[in-house]
Structure 1
Amino acid sequence: MRVYIPSTFPLLDLACHAGEFGPAPLTVYAVTPALREWYTEGDDEELEYAAMAQAARASVGLLAADPNAPRRRVVVACEVSAIPPANGTMELGDAQLELHVVVPWTAVAAVHLDATRATDVVGKAAELWEAARNGDEDAVFALDSCEGEDLLWYATQEIPDLLAAEGPRGTKA
């Protein structure tokens, strides 16, 4: 099953060099029963996109926690064999799951990230993350604005070169 791991450039660099995403537990996003029930008319591709969008939003939270990380959302798509069952507390439309295992780098299928032109929009959303979580309408609007930015797709073999080009902590080398 495909899961989406929210990340940042520094966390992606760490996982690439460590050969895994961890430690467990990991918050990931996937097509859950709650998501499937919410999008009753959605096909598999639309459901996957919705799960990835939730992971991209979570990436903004990670950026808010790391003011030195480049202001670009990073979502890592991975193929894993074991998905935990929903614990019954999920809200309708929620794609969030908790994995109690590390995810090996070999499970990475692709990486999605913002283009550099999105840094202002994403940076503003990261700056206002806590206010958005507290319901501030302007902050929620800034967070929602990120969804208007398309994530670029990178194959796994491109990631080391992408990280090298960005330099330490994801800043241009």
Structure 2
Amino acid sequence: MRVFLPSSLPALADILERGEVAGPEIRAFAVVGEPDPDGGADDEELAYEALLAAASASLRLLAADPEAPRRRVVLAADVPERIVEPETGASGVASVTVAGTVPLKRVASAHIDDEAAIPDIEAAIADPDADVGPEHELMWYATQELRYVV
């Protein structure tokens, strides 16, 4: 199951050093439940919505860490469905809890803001009603590139 884990650059550096995303329970976002039979969003659109939900959660992590570089980070990981617990009654894009750890080998990619997004990220942290803006798409990184990013 693909999950999207909100993070930050300091947390990513720690993850790379340890080789895993650790925690007793890891908060993430995923597409859960059965697809809408009446033709709502397709799987790719729902996965993108889950990525954006994790990016919003990354903003909250940045707000809690004033020293962190102002760039959202989202890790996309493939984990066994048996370790993922969605919110009760959730369907579609939902907050989920991942039990245990996520080894770095399970991380498929990272999605990180470009430095040009920093002013809008700072504004979004200062004002929860501010929008990061659609012009700031998260950039895709393969896991092999991450050590150069941090």
User: Contact 1:110/1:156 (CA < 8 Å) preserved in 2?
Assistant: yes
Q: Partners of 2:94 and 2:80 in 1: how far apart?
A: 17
Q: Partners of 2:115 and 2:68 in 1: how far apart?
A: 13
- The correspondence of residues 125-140 of structure 1 with structure 2, limited to 5 A, is 125-128=124-127, 132=128, 140=129
Which structure has greater helix proportion? 1
- The correspondence of residues 109-124 of structure 1 with structure 2, limited to 5 A, is 109-124=108-123
Matched AA of 2:144: Q
Secondary structure of the structure 2 residue equivalent to 1:30? strand
Q: Which residue of 2 aligns with 1:4?
A: 4
Q: Deviations over 1:34-77 (max 9, x none)?
A: 8x55x952111101000000000000000000001011100000
How far residue 24 of structure 1 moved from its aligned partner, in angstroms, is: 2.0
Q: Which residue of 2 aligns with 1:44?
A: 43
Identity of aligned residues (%): 38
Q: Which runs of 5+ in 2 are unaligned?
A: none
Q: Does 1:158 align with 2:135?
A: no
User: Contact 1:53/1:147 (CA < 8 Å) preserved in 2?
Assistant: no
Q: Which runs of 5+ in 1 are unaligned?
A: 133-139, 164-173
Q: Which residue of 2 aligns with 1:17?
A: 17
Secondary structure of the structure 2 residue equivalent to 1:31? strand
Q: Partners of 1:85 and 1:115 in 2: how far apart?
A: 32
User: Contact 2:86/2:95 (CA < 8 Å) preserved in 1?
Assistant: no
Q: CA RMSD in A?
A: 1.9
Change (3 A) 1:40 1:65: farther
Q: Which residue of 2 aligns with 1:170?
A: none
Which structure has greater strand proportion? 2
Change (3 A) 1:40 1:6: farther
Q: TM-score scaled by structure 1?
A: 0.78
Secondary structure of the structure 1 residue equivalent to 2:132? helix
Secondary structure of the structure 1 residue equivalent to 2:66? coil
Runs of 4+ in 1 over 3 A off after TM superposition: none
Matched AA of 1:17: E
Q: Partners of 2:95 and 2:107 in 1: how far apart?
A: 18
Q: Partners of 2:85 and 2:23 in 1: how far apart?
A: 20
Q: TM-score scaled by structure 2?
A: 0.89
Matched AA of 2:132: C
